[in-house]
Amino acid sequence: MLELKKLEKDYSLIIIDDDPGFTEMTKLVMASRGFDTISFTNPEEAVEHLKTNDYDLILLDYFMPEMNGSEFIDKLREYNKRTPVIIQTGYANEIKPIDFLEGVDAQGFFDKTDGVDPLVLYSLTVLKTAELCKRQDCN
């Protein structure tokens, strides 16, 4: 069996998802890999928290009762233009990922039905791309 290595860098991420079971499972998996992780099940509370706290990555559920992912991103981008966002959904069959990403300021789309383990790889890919952009002074 392959031994999982901890991350060499401390990345912080915030998970926003109205499903507490999925949120806790994701938090445990990400923390076991070395991510500094916090979560919210209420997107309104998360928006307020993000006004005064920075994270390297946001994992955002799309379908939530209080607001959907597009609405959340619109509010977030009023004061935070740089933190990458990965939209997550268990209803990927209801959204065409390519069409969806063209319409929102998110940097990734993840189908929750793929399980949490691939999310670690996908998160690292987005984070490393964001780091490269910072080194290259992307606007």
Determine the structural domain holding residue 117 and report its residue range.
12-135
Assign residue 48 the CATH number of its domain: 3.40.50.2300
Tally of structural domains, the chain:
1
Residue 31 within a domain: yes
Q: Percent of the chain scored above 90 by pLDDT? A: 50
- Global model pTM greater than 0.85: yes
Measure the CA–CA gap between 42 and 65, rounded to whole angstroms: 9
Q: Is residue 6 part of a domain?
A: no
The reply to whether 2 falls in a domain is: no
Q: Stretch 62-87: mean pLDDT, rounded?
A: 94
Q: Does the residue 92 lie in any domain? A: yes
Residue 5 lies inside a defined structural domain of this protein: no
Q: Which helix (H) or strand (E) holds 14?
A: strand 12-16
Residue 3 lies in a domain: no
What pLDDT shows up at residue 79?
95
Q: What is the mean pLDDT of residues 98-121?
A: 84
